[in-house]
């Protein structure tokens, strides 16, 4: 069995590649990092280390890599693949769509065999969005065939894999916890048996529970921690104010999720506690600027901060902790991050209100604006105190 996986980065090697290899797939990674591609092709294996006592390791063998620029080679691999997965980042999905479309076209010209393409990105509706981009590159007749033979099931993936700094360029250190949930109602053909993958008929509760808990909490810690001059997530978790704010935000999203999906508050509370524990793992040493990366994406209307805040308000709740994190995300001034630089330039040129509206989609005069403004004042007191 062959799996073609786009993105041989942290989650690609440290999570998706590892699970697929255990399930018996040969893996062809597709990446645009030429050095990484060469190293994978030379060694045909890599190590995954667990960030826990003793740092146990496993070896992922039977891997190769294709340079993403070589569209013909990528298309050839997709033509014979049994599964396609991605972990490249939501903003990159449009850039890999052409190669996937070329692969689908080639495949359908040779044989009609079902294929599922699973985007493993931190976003709602990732595979559906990828499908839209791929279809832009398909002729009408191939689109009609693809509708029958190619599935784009949405997925939720959860495993913290920080930036890697090892002498061994392929080694990847990961936390022990992982969760990979796939929407089986959007799949074609036989459902593949992959240990560690949970198939569900309706992904919405799972992806929202994950995005609005793990990723919301992480974002709160990262943006507040940055304001307080901290470097890593576990360092920030040693500050009581940050822990309180994170708990507060997760109470807000928890109340929303319970109201929307009927989650048992006690069971959800245990889920939250487990996640708070994951953030404190000192062996992960997860950089705040990694977790805070791409603040425009993270501030967008349906993402982890503004998404739940707007929905909380529709239900009559007051999302002040989410408001504090939104204010901190706007204040995230890290020039090496292109999106942070764009926000800071916008704040200077267009002012706070316009930048808030443009980045978040919060309409002018919406009551959430007032909450964020109030929290921005509170944030100034916080920042002044460190």
Ligand X SMILES: NC(=O)C1=CN([C@@H]2O[C@H](COP(=O)(O)OP(=O)(O)OC[C@H]3O[C@@H](n4cnc5c(N)ncnc54)[C@H](O)[C@@H]3O)[C@@H](O)[C@H]2O)C=CC1
Ligand Y SMILES: O=P(O)(O)OC[C@H]1O[C@](O)(CO)[C@@H](O)[C@@H]1O
State in Å, rounded, how far the first CA of the chain is from the last one.
55
Size of the site for ligand Y (CB under 6 A): 9
Residue 293: which of ligand X, ligand Y, none does it interact with, CB under 5 to 8 A by kind? ligand Y
Of 3, 4, 5, 8, the one binding ligand X (CB under 6 A) is 8
Backbone CA torsion sign across 25, 31, 33, 37: positive
Interaction residues for ligand Y, span 156-215 (CB under 6 A): 158, 160, 214-215
Sole window of 184-192, 287-295, 325-333, 373-381 interacting with ligand Y (rule: CB under 6 A): 287-295
Of 159, 209, 268, 321, the one binding ligand X (CB under 6 A) is 159
Q: Could you tell me if 215 and 122 are in contact, meaning their C-beta atoms sit under 8 angstroms apart? A: yes
Distance of CA 37 to the CA centre of its chain: 22
What is the Cα–Cα distance from 176 to 83, expressed in whole angstroms? 25
For the bound state, the minimum distance from the C-beta of residue 125 to ligand Y, rounded and expressed in Å, comes to: 14
- 5 carries a ligand binding annotation: yes
What is the Cα–Cα distance from 323 to 101, expressed in whole angstroms? 40
For the bound state, the minimum distance from the C-beta of residue 6 to ligand Y, rounded and expressed in Å, comes to: 15
Of 52, 164, 251, 294, the one binding ligand Y (CB under 6 A) is 294
31 is an interface residue for ligand X by CB under 6 A: yes
Interaction residues for ligand X, span 80-109 (CB under 6 A): 87-90, 92, 95-96
131 is an interface residue for ligand Y by CB under 6 A: no
122 is an interface residue for ligand Y by CB under 6 A: yes
- The two tokens of residue 368 are 């959430």
Residue with tokens 């704010």: 245
Q: Could you tell me if 301 and 360 are in contact, meaning their C-beta atoms sit under 8 angstroms apart? A: yes
Of 21, 105, 122, 232, the one binding ligand X (CB under 6 A) is 122
What is the Cα–Cα distance from 225 to 156, expressed in whole angstroms? 26
Residue 31: which of ligand X, ligand Y, none does it interact with, CB under 5 to 8 A by kind? ligand X
Cβ-in-10-Å burial (0-12, 13-18, 19+) of 357 comes to middle
For the bound state, the minimum distance from the C-beta of residue 150 to ligand Y, rounded and expressed in Å, comes to: 26
Q: Could you tell me if 379 and 324 are in contact, meaning their C-beta atoms sit under 8 angstroms apart? A: yes
200 is an interface residue for ligand X by CB under 6 A: no
- 116 carries a ligand binding annotation: no
Q: Could you tell me if 294 and 305 are in contact, meaning their C-beta atoms sit under 8 angstroms apart? A: no
For the bound state, the minimum distance from the C-beta of residue 290 to ligand X, rounded and expressed in Å, comes to: 8
List the beta bridge partners of residue 31: 67
325 is an interface residue for ligand X by CB under 6 A: no
32 is an interface residue for ligand X by CB under 6 A: yes
For the bound state, the minimum distance from the C-beta of residue 217 to ligand Y, rounded and expressed in Å, comes to: 8
Going by the DSSP 8-state scheme, the letter that residue 121 receives in this structure is: S
List the beta bridge partners of residue 150: 115
Of 5, 268, 293, 321, the one binding ligand Y (CB under 6 A) is 293
Name the residue among 226, 243, 258, 276 with its Cα closest to residue 386.
226
Distances in Å between the alpha carbon of 92 and those of 46, 78, 182, 327? 24, 18, 21, 26
17 is an interface residue for ligand X by CB under 6 A: no
171 is an interface residue for ligand X by CB under 6 A: no
Residues making contact with ligand Y (CB under 6 A): 122, 158, 160, 214-215, 218, 291, 293-294
């Amino acid at each position: 069995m062959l799996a073609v996986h786009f993105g041989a980065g942290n989650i690609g090697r440290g999570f998706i590649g590892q699970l697929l290899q255990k399930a018996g797939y040969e893996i062809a990674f597709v990446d645009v990092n030429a050095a990484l591609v060469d190293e994978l092709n030379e060694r045909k294996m890599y190590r995954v280390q667990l960030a826990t006592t003793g740092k146990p390791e496993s070896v992922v063998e039977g891997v190769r890599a294709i340079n993403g620029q070589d569209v013909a080679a990528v298309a050839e691999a997709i033509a014979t693949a049994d599964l396609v997965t991605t972990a490249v980042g939501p903003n990159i999905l449009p850039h890999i769509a052409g190669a996937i479309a070329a692969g689908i076209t080639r495949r359908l010209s040779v044989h009609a065999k079902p294929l599922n393409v699973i985007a493993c990105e931190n976003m709602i509706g990732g595979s559906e969005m990828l499908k839209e981009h791929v279809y832009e590159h398909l002729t009408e007749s191939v689109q009609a065939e693809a509708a029958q033979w190619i599935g784009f099931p949405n997925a939720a993936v959860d495993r913290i894999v920080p930036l890697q700094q090892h002498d061994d360029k392929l080694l990847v250190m990961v936390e022990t916890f992982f969760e990979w949930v796939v929407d089986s109602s959007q799949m074609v053909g036989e459902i593949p048996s992959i240990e560690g993958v949970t198939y569900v008929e309706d992904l919405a509760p799972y992806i929202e529970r994950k995005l609005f808990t793990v990723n919301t909490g992480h974002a709160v810690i990262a943006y507040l921690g940055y304001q307080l001059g901290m470097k890593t997530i576990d360092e920030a978790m040693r500050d009581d104010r940050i822990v309180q704010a994170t708990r507060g935000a997760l109470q807000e999203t928890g109340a929303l999720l319970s109201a929307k999906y009927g989650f048992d508050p006690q069971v959800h509370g245990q889920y939250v506690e487990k996640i708070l524990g994951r953030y404190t793992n000192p062996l992960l040493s997860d950089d705040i600027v990694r977790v805070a990366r791409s603040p425009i994406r993270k501030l967008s209307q349906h993402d982890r901060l503004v998404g739940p805040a707007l929905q909380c308000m529709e239900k009559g709740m007051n999302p002040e902790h989410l408001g504090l994190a939104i204010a901190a995300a706007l204040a995230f001034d890290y020039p090496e991050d292109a999106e942070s630089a764009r926000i800071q330039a916008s704040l200077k040129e267009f002012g706070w209100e316009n930048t808030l509206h443009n980045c978040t989609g919060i309409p002018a005069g919406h009551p959430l604006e007032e909450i964020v403004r109030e929290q921005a004042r509170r944030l100034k007191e916080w920042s002044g105190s460190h």
